[in-house]
């Protein structure tokens, strides 16, 4: 049966790539729901890839980034494919349709994606029912840490009320929580990255939640350099546990060649890599060990993973490369990472954490 589903899925990939990208994404979710191409249990990871972050163990550091499974429909199959952790969402308090289609574009020539989905999702009620079922139906946890990425509705949002309420809804079920303050497609959302607003938001969360899973903040790569230090202070002093760096960018590098380069929305994939890495490195320097760091943006090789870890990442996430390559991406990333570790004579990927910072005189890591 498994062979059959593999045989069905592999030839379908080139076809999926030719379809309208949003339909292809829907079909990929359906295939995962049916278990097509999903091994019956998680592949065993080489111990050299294991790491600890946010008080948890991860058998490998590669997570699926938010936005792939907005409604928490395929958390378990994603874990079974071999992701080291799975982030579901962004989910908002009420269901919403998002922006009119087309709203998702492949920039094939640039190995990039532009999206202006606008938080299309089924809302927190259905999201939490699925998370509850995830544990109840099988009696076992999915085998990899699970996070919930939270956002606000386009209309009628009250962030200081909405985020604490969303946290209350998901906290029985997840291993970590992300405040998404960085989608470019929800007007006003990115203003919450302002350090005073962020301090207020975290105070409202702390007032309602004496205990909660680790809380991460997902930042935009378009933050000005001088904005980063105050955001990091507000996050650390407000009791946040980590940062995800980064979300998609509004920038359009002059190198883009695809005819879709002029579409409105957030750009992800290869053209985001340099900025996301640079911002991560700077954040690691500023946070100075106070916050866990998840590197995201343009990761598509084992060398990219090693580079992010050396720049200070505890964990990494991928989206665009997975959209282009499908599940084969995971085995390749792990294989390439292990080859680099062997070449360097390093026993464990986590031994390289923050290595660049140490070389530059950062004594504290
Ligand atoms: C189609 C699409 C939808 C996304 N939706 C979300 C989302 O709902 N919430 C979020 O925090 N990030 C979302 N993202 C951003 C990704 O999680 C990730 O931060 C970004 O794509 C950079 O990683 P990548 O270069 O590996 O794709 C989305 C990205 C894409 C391409």
The model's pLDDT over 198-249, given as tens digits with 9 standing for 90+, comes to 999 999 999 999 999 999 999 999 999 899 999 999 999 999 999 999 999 9
Distance 170 CA to ligand 1 centre (A): 20
Model pLDDT, residue 184: 86
Strand partners, 276: none
Per-residue pLDDT band for 12 (boundaries 50, 70, 90) equals low
Is the same domain home to 17 and 100?
no
Nearest Cα to Cα of residue 176 among 284, 292, 268, 309? 292
62 vs 66: CA distance, rounded Å: 13
Per-residue pLDDT band for 37 (boundaries 50, 70, 90) equals confident
Range of the domain at 204: 45-359
Please name the residue whose Cα sits nearest to atom 21 of ligand 1.
268
Model pLDDT, residue 2: 43
Residue 286 lies in a domain: yes
Is the same domain home to 87 and 26?
no
Is the same domain home to 146 and 275?
yes
Residue 12 lies in a domain: yes
Instruction: Just list the catalytic residues.
Output: 183
Burial class (CB in 10 A: 0-12, 13-18, 19+), 79: buried
pLDDT for 11 beyond 70: no
Among 220, 248, 296, 307, say which to mutate for ligand 1: greatest number of ligand atoms within 8 Å of CB: 248
Model pLDDT, residue 364: 42
Is the same domain home to 24 and 81?
no
Model pLDDT, residue 141: 74
CATH value at residue 330: 3.20.20.70
Is the same domain home to 73 and 188?
yes
Within 8 A by CB and 6+ apart from 141, the residues are 135
Is the same domain home to 33 and 82?
no
- Please report the atom of ligand 1 found closest to the CA of residue 151: 9
Residue 364 lies in a domain: no
Is the same domain home to 156 and 217?
yes
* Mean pLDDT value across the chain: 92
First to last CA, the chain: 49
Please name the residue whose Cα sits nearest to atom 19 of ligand 1.
247
Is the same domain home to 2 and 98?
no
Model pLDDT, residue 359: 65
- Specify whether the CB–CB gap between 74 and 167 falls below 8 A: no
Give the containing element (helix H, strand E) for 332.
helix 328-344
86 vs 248: CA distance, rounded Å: 18
Is the same domain home to 150 and 224?
yes
Model pLDDT, residue 155: 92
Identify the DSSP state of 273.
Answer: H
Is the same domain home to 14 and 51?
no
pLDDT greater at residue 186 or residue 212? 212
Per-residue pLDDT band for 194 (boundaries 50, 70, 90) equals confident
Domain count, the chain: 2
Is the same domain home to 31 and 114?
no
Residue 155 lies in a domain: yes
Q: Which residues line ligand 1 (CB under 6 A)?
A: 65-67, 70, 90, 104, 113, 115, 117, 149, 180, 183, 218, 247-248, 268-269, 272, 296-299, 318-321
Is the same domain home to 9 and 120?
no
- Please report the atom of ligand 1 found closest to the CA of residue 104: 1
Residue 347 lies in a domain: yes
Residue 365 lies in a domain: no
Tens of pLDDT, residue by residue over 347-363, are 999 999 999 988 654 44
339 sits in the region (left: phi over 0; alpha: psi -120 to 50; else beta) called alpha
Distance 213 CA to ligand 1 centre (A): 22
Distance 183 CA to ligand 1 centre (A): 8
pLDDT for 314 beyond 50: yes
- Give percent above pLDDT 90 in the chain: 82
pLDDT for 29 beyond 90: yes
Residue 150 lies in a domain: yes
Please name the residue whose Cα sits nearest to atom 13 of ligand 1.
67
- Please report the atom of ligand 1 found closest to the CA of residue 272: 25
Distance 67 CA to ligand 1 centre (A): 5
Please name the residue whose Cα sits nearest to atom 18 of ligand 1.
247
Distance 112 CA to ligand 1 centre (A): 11
pLDDT for 149 beyond 60: yes
Model pLDDT, residue 301: 98
């Amino acid at each position: 049966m498994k062979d059959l589903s593999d045989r069905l899925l592999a030839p379908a990939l080139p076809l999926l790539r030719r379809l309208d990208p949003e339909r292809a994404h829907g079909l990929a979710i359906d295939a995962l729901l049916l278990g097509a191409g999903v091994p019956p249990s998680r592949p065993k990871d080489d111990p050299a890839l294991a790491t600890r972050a946010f008080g948890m163990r991860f058998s490998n550091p590669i997570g699926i980034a938010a936005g792939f499974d907005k409604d928490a429909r395929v958390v378990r199959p994603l874990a079974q494919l071999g992701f080291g952790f799975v982030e579901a969402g962004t989910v908002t308090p009420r269901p919403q349709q998002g922006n009119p289609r087309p709203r998702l574009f492949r920039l094939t020539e640039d190995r990039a994606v532009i999206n202006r989905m606008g938080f299309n999702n089924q809302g927190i009620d259905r999201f939490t029912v699925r998370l509850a079922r995830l544990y109840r139906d099988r009696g076992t946890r999915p085998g990899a840490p699970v996070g919930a990425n939270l956002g606000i509705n386009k209309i009628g949002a009250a962030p200081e009320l909405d985020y604490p309420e969303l946290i209350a809804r998901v906290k029985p079920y997840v291993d970590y929580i992300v405040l998404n303050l960085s989608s470019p497609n929800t007007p006003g959302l990115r203003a919450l990255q302002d350090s005073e607003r962020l301090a207020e938001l975290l105070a409202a969360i702390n007032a309602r939640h004496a205990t909660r899973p680790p809380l991460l903040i997902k930042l935009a790569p378009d933050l000005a350099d001088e904005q980063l230090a105050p955001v990091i202070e507000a996050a650390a002093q407000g009791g946040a546990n980590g940062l995800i760096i980064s979300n998609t960018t509004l920038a359009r590098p002059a190198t883009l060649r695809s005819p879709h380069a002029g579409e409105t929305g957030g750009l992800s994939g290869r053209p985001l890599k340099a900025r996301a890495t640079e911002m991560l490195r700077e954040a690691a320097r500023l946070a100075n060990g106070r916050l866990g760091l998840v590197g995201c943006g343009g990761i598509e090789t084992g060398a990219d993973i090693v580079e992010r870890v050396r720049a200070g990442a505890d964990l990494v996430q991928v989206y665009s490369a997975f959209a282009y390559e499908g599940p084969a991406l995971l085995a390749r990333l792990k294989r390439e990472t292990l080859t680099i570790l062997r070449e360097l004579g390093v026993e464990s990927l986590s031994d390289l954490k923050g290595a660049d910072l140490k070389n530059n005189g950062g004594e504290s890591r």
